[in-house]
A and B are shown apart, each in its own frame.
Chain A
Amino acid sequence: MIYPAAGSMLYMLLELITAFLFGGLLLGLHRKIIARIQGRPGPPIVQHLIHTFKFYIKELTIPETSSMPLYVAIVLALSAVWVLAFLVGPVLLGPFSIIIMCYAVHKVSEHGIGLASGSPYTKMGSTRAVLSATAEMPLIVAPALVFFKTHTLVLSDIINYQILHGSLFMDLPLAAIATFILLLSKTPFNPFGIVWGKDIVSGYKTEHFGVIRGVMMFGEILGFFVLLWCFLTIFFGGIFNTPLTIMLTMIGVTIILGFICALTPMIAPYHSVMIQWIFALLALINVLFI
């Protein structure tokens, strides 16, 4: 059997598909755990993937009020951004700054998805997306601390540093917690998910059905996978640096996230922003004992 060479396009494509399937299973597990904690049997673990594929054979309607071609393009941008982040991060171990950019563009896409349909619910969701852009604060703090500590932001160098000097979690625990909050705010049913809160129907996703929702879910699954991977690699790169250990820890972290999401209610918009700020400031305190 011939394996595709690392760095060739086929290899990257296969990795992409693997990550998508694995991420989908993780999110399914996440749902299952929430259901079990709440005393329900819950959907099977493959449900999230089935859900994504189901949308591919459903009728696509584009609202007459929507602003074309932005309505379609912005969803494609959302998934393209996470494809790029996946290729630069887990596959090529490239510069971390590109992943920061991808996260930022993800925020822009959320905002654009909400605005483009013209519905008041999606508009509300996108307004909250702007409001919750304060979640970018841990995003500036965590890389800054990592950079001051390791003097590099290239992921392969960060991993090498951690293999030599031990995991960064020991040095930057508060920054790791802030990044964990960032990760939490990207999982479904999380306490900070004011953007897709059920009080505004489905937030910015309200008007998106059919194929376009499928593409959106594809992007979100990849995004969850990439963020989880980045969190583990940057703060625990010294311990978990083989594919198997990373996959096992990802399952572990997903279980923790499931517990948090199941046990906490949705927080009001301003409180959500405030709590994220508090964690970012906590991470700043970490500067004192670098």
Chain B
Amino acid sequence: MNDILDLNSYIIGHVLFGDIVPYLTPFSLALVITIVVFTIFLALSKPELRSVTRFGEDVVRTTTVGKKEAKFRRFMTILCGVALIGVVTTGDIFNFTLFVSLVGITNVGIFAVVKDTHVLDAAFQYGLVMMICSLPLFGGVALILAKTGTLSLGVLAGIPGNPVLNVGRMLLLVGAVGEGALAPFFATKVEMIRAKGAPYINMMHLSSLMVFTRLIEILFIVG
């Protein structure tokens, strides 16, 4: 596990579970604690009253999320937090991709019940990007598997880099960036966060940045 050590100084503990070894480093511990704390607070918070002004009126109106809608979105928020914990603790790239896709699905779920055509339109576009990006995501992992014969990060950390692995890594980067609505594919995200319900929207931002942080580590470990 040399690359993992280079990145994290030491490993707190790992669970020997066949080929797949979930491990805990100071980095992943910090991530897990962050996610847990955020998920708890986001789930406890009540949605804000969004104040809206219109031209030609001297009134400030407030709107908020309906009770039923809030219930569903809170559930999706918690689910997203659970998926994120999976993303940051897993010691196996394929599980990583699955959890990243799960994060994408729950993100879409958070916005699925918003009664706003703009938001739903953006969410739909994001869903399309997410589905397309499952090709590079799983494809990259399959390339890495074909090249090295393993998916365990602990084993991959010891395998030196080569061109095929680099292609796999690049595909993995593109895929995860698309699933998490990160930098180049984030145009829809800016549109989506127009929706009401601060705690739930914030979860989406948290999820994409956590996926991003973990992705950096995985890209360094592979190859």
Contacts and interface: CB of A to CB of B under 8 A. Distances in A.
Report A-B touching, CB under 8 Å: yes
A154 B73 CA distance: 39
Nearest to B209: A104
Contact of B202 (A66, A108, A143): A108
A147 to B, nearest CB: 6
Interface residues of B, number: 46
Contact of B45 (A69, A123, A127, A157): A69
A68 B34 contact: no
A70 B199 CA distance: 7
B27 to A, nearest CB: 5
Given A67-B47, A68-B45, A70-B45, A98 B209 contact: no
Nearest to B177: A140
Most interface-central of A64, A66, A84, A95 (chain B CB within 10 A): A95
Nearest to B199: A70
A70 B46 CA distance: 8
Interface residues of A, number: 49
Contacts of B37: 77
A118 B209 contact: no
Is chain A's interface secondary structure helix, strand, loop, or mixed overall? helix
Contacts, number: 146
A105 interface: yes
B190 A97 contact: no
B212 interface: yes
Nearest to B53: A120
B51 A107 contact: no
A234 B212 CA distance: 21
A144 B220 contact: yes
Nearest to B192: A130
Interface in A93-137: 94-95, 97-98, 100-101, 104-105, 107-108, 111-112, 115-120, 123, 126-127, 130-131, 133-134, 136-137
Given A115-B201, A133-B183, A140 B216 contact: yes
B30 interface: yes
A108 B50 contact: no
Most interface-central of A68, A100, A153 (chain B CB within 10 A): A153
Contacts of A115: 48, 193, 198, 201-202
A8 interface: no
A81 to B, nearest CB: 8
A94 B210 CA distance: 19
14 contacts: A69-B44, A70-B198, A74-B202, A104-B210, A108-B209, A115-B201, A116-B48, A117-B48, A130-B193, A143-B216, A144-B219, A147-B6, A147-B220, A151-B6
Interface of A: 64-70, 73-74, 77, 81, 84, 88, 94-95, 97-98, 100-101, 104-105, 107-108, 111-112, 115-120, 123, 126-127, 130-131, 133-134, 136-137, 140, 143-144, 147, 151-154, 157
Q: Which 9 residue pairs across A and B have the least CB separation, nearest first?
A: A115-B198, A67-B48, A70-B45, A65-B49, A118-B48, A104-B209, A112-B202, A73-B41, A152-B6
Given A65-B48, A70-B202, A81-B34, 11 more contacts: A70-B199, A73-B41, A115-B201, A118-B49, A126-B193, A127-B190, A133-B183, A133-B186, A144-B220, A151-B6, A154-B7
